[in-house]
Structure 1
């Protein structure tokens, strides 16, 4: 127990979801003297969107992979450092990007860097640009991006036709890359205020595999957080069917509790407080039926309005590399594409939505591995394909871009499936054109509301998870901080100082 606090009483708590938010919340509560805690997890293992699998010569991350802002200000970095998980092997803060076109050309690295920097600057400053240039109709990142691209194109009139075409294709590729970052099908889905709300922790984003740190960084970190939680307090394969709240439910010893958690196996758990750390995708799919009584309409509206999409990874193993040993990222540009043309989902040519492939290093650990990223409807679609279909399509893709018809078939392929996973229904959140940062705060607000004279027990339902952190949504550190935040609410409620 924390030496500075003692508990007024020992409440009964249930944490739904054993991702890093739920595990973080339970761990903090246990270390502050709370003992009657039960974590229920629907799947067969803890972790949520932290998950790794064997592939090739090593282990790869299906979900969380990056420390976004690798500094002591990031709790993930700090915890990984404290537990000795930062076994640095190689890092380049500015990875070597090699861009190929479908016309078997390699783009000039200086041109690539210049256009990439211009693109990033537009997107990061989109909300400021919209204000400064009075783009009053700008609702999405795409609105600002396309207006700025039109001005760039006008400045490229003096360029050779081939170079101009390549630059436009590169801008289109960079748009797709940004869609992957937001797990969105299009930048027209992402609010122009996304980067205004999201806070970047100083220092670069760091890759937990391939270029830096030990294998299984996030799963290992989760295991460290689980060490303070007794095994019997974690129930796996325990999906929740419904949460009855604001009631008066009697236990066997005649005690009364305001919340009753009904499980799909027919069992139930009574509680004073429930911390929900399930994905926003699940709340979108089940929010109407999961709670009885229904959630307030404003909260339901926030759940449905906020952005939550799918980003999947495609892991590829080769017998031998076709890329240069100094290459860290391979970009693929379709020269006929331009960001100024409306891009609709194209499931028949889904591979065109995979803009980049990352090279795993060192080769001694991983072998010859690439991982591609894809988002939107195409990311959902590939979950329905066989691995043979994926391998065949990508073999043809790389043969086309390299001009090497003899490029051998892939040795092995693995595709993540976050959309069809019933306990995630997607990958992570963003602020959509239909939502605001205020909606994240609304989603986060505990229930019942603190209305004067209501007489209802407070903090019956608390909400955690990456989508509930206004400044760090979509990140593991945002998820962890959200779990700690909800734990602190209960610590403050029950502690005497």
Structure 2
């Protein structure tokens, strides 16, 4: 039996789910009353947005739901590979906002996936410079406080400034102001401080998946909403989560290795049984799938390359404009496995600060010295699960470039840099693994941000379904093409919870659409 606290927890969970949309306030739709045939929904992409949309539609009585996925496994940018002693995450790794307000956290709790969750705040740092100077705890604490201050100042500027400014512009303005207080510093200490700040600037670029902070609009701070609870990581959490979500989807409803060539909409396509559909999905293998509705969940990076060829007729100009101007970059991970560790057991992060770099240097692409882009090295824990593994994060054009390097080029340069900074006899790793999100045909990068050329309104424009609602109240031609995925969620873009919520949003759009009859009669609805 559950205790009172268990019951309270369940009630809280259901209430929060209702608020955020996990459960529709709708009974399964009776399509015999509202339409002449069961609507057919095709979902392009089996990432968490597509899987989330499919699950919700199936729960609400949609019986003809088909997911088609280009790769050989579901998950999209939730992906893992065997490395060392365990699976490592290629893509999604952290729950950003570990609280019941986050649907990913709620589902992870429901599926009991949080047993080994670790909180990354307060992790022990070691920061080295290229002259083998190691900063002490006091310096690192001041660096963290200064970085937090700069972040808050950017947020303050965003709230008080309507001009189109970049995060990088404000960041540098604030540092110039701070420099006026460093008059007593030696030239060497000043170099070290500026090098450390530039290290943190590179870390921000990983956070935004951008080349530099000049690419990131200050509007990012006004649009993106943080969820309380901090970042949490649990080994294999996202892979287990996607596996649990897919379990309830009938096998026949998920087609893998089925790339889409073109989505034809606003047509009248006749099936073998003489039914007429407004949408036809042409697959690379020659198959044609007819549908009443298609939910497109592909990445913004893929849309940037393929949007004009993918849709016929073409997308509206304003939607194409949003796709072109919204920010989408590459962040890759480099995993290194060692026979024995050269780092301290207590270390969780190793920072690398170049004394000959400052935030004013500008993070322009430097492929000849790509290793300079490396700023933070993550020591994976627990050792019992992973073994002795380091994780390097890298963004920008350098992240794209490392995908082309041989294993020897990669490991020899990283080993040289680690020896140069730490002064330790760092051994060559015995294994290396590099993620390749840019060269992945179906992602072409990692995740989105609001660029200096875009706005939050463009995210809403990308999310708008096609065709637009007609003034005559006719419903049959509406909602032919719907859009989901992390880049379509204004408040939570770049996150898995944003992707999941966008899938639920589009499922709800169809559920609500069919809850209204052709005469506009609202059906009686109750908790499912």
**Range into which the TM-score falls when normalised by the shorter chain:** over 0.9
Alpha-carbon distance between aligned partners in 2 of 1:40 and 1:465, rounded to the nearest angstrom: 15
> Is residue 26–residue 37 contact of structure 1 (8 Å, CA) maintained in 2?
yes
TM-score normalised over the length of structure 1: 0.95
Alpha-carbon distance between aligned partners in 1 of 2:364 and 2:29, rounded to the nearest angstrom: 58
Tell me the equivalent position of 1:425: 444
Tell me the equivalent position of 1:185: 211
- Cα 1:173–1:244 shift into 2, 3 Å: same
Query: In the TM superposition, what are the counterparts of 1:82-121 in structure 2 within 5 Å?
Result: 82-88=110-116, 90-91=118-119, 93-121=121-149
Structure 1 residues 68-89: Cα deviation after superposition (integer angstroms, max 9, x where no partner):
0011111101100011111126
Alpha-carbon distance between aligned partners in 2 of 1:125 and 1:276, rounded to the nearest angstrom: 37
Equivalent position SS for 1:13 = strand
Alpha-carbon distance between aligned partners in 2 of 1:39 and 1:137, rounded to the nearest angstrom: 42
Alignment of 1:321 with 2:341, yes or no, is yes
Query: In the TM superposition, what are the counterparts of 1:170-319 in structure 2 within 5 Å?
Result: 170-207=196-233, 213=234, 215-319=235-339
* Bigger mean CA deviation after superposition, 161-170 or 245-254: 161-170
- Cα 1:440–1:125 shift into 2, 3 Å: farther
TM-score normalised over the length of structure 2: 0.90
> Is residue 124–residue 195 contact of structure 1 (8 Å, CA) maintained in 2?
no
> Is residue 100–residue 106 contact of structure 1 (8 Å, CA) maintained in 2?
yes
Alpha-carbon distance between aligned partners in 2 of 1:294 and 1:387, rounded to the nearest angstrom: 42
Q: Cα distance, 1:156 vs. partner?
A: 1.0
Tell me the equivalent position of 2:459: 440
| Count of aligned residue pairs for this structure pair | 488
Q: Cα distance, 1:126 vs. partner?
A: 1.3
Alpha-carbon distance between aligned partners in 2 of 1:78 and 1:338, rounded to the nearest angstrom: 42
Q: Cα distance, 1:128 vs. partner?
A: 2.1
Q: Cα distance, 1:408 vs. partner?
A: 1.6
> Is residue 212–residue 362 contact of structure 2 (8 Å, CA) maintained in 1?
no
Q: Cα distance, 1:117 vs. partner?
A: 2.4
Equivalent position SS for 1:6 = coil
* Structure 1: segments with no counterpart, 5+ residues: 208-212
Structure 1 residues 330-355: Cα deviation after superposition (integer angstroms, max 9, x where no partner):
11000111101233211111111111
Structure 1 residues 422-459: Cα deviation after superposition (integer angstroms, max 9, x where no partner):
01000000000000000000000110011313956110
Tell me the equivalent position of 1:154: 180
Tell me the equivalent position of 1:126: 154
Alignment of 1:67 with 2:95, yes or no, is yes
Q: Cα distance, 1:256 vs. partner?
A: 0.6
Equivalent position SS for 2:290 = strand
Q: Cα distance, 1:3 vs. partner?
A: 7.0
Q: Which runs of 4+ in 1 moved over 4 A?
A: none
Alpha-carbon distance between aligned partners in 2 of 1:412 and 1:162, rounded to the nearest angstrom: 37
Aligned-pair Cα RMSD in Å = 1.6
Structure 1 residues 252-295: Cα deviation after superposition (integer angstroms, max 9, x where no partner):
11111000000010111000000001000111100111111000
Structure 1 residues 290-328: Cα deviation after superposition (integer angstroms, max 9, x where no partner):
111000000000001100000000001112212111111
- Cα 1:138–1:442 shift into 2, 3 Å: closer
Structure 1 residues 79-137: Cα deviation after superposition (integer angstroms, max 9, x where no partner):
000111111265453111211111111112222222222223323441422665x6x86
- Cα 1:262–1:314 shift into 2, 3 Å: same
* Structure 2: segments with no counterpart, 5+ residues: 1-23, 516-522
Alignment of 1:32 with 2:60, yes or no, is yes
Alignment of 1:163 with 2:214, yes or no, is no
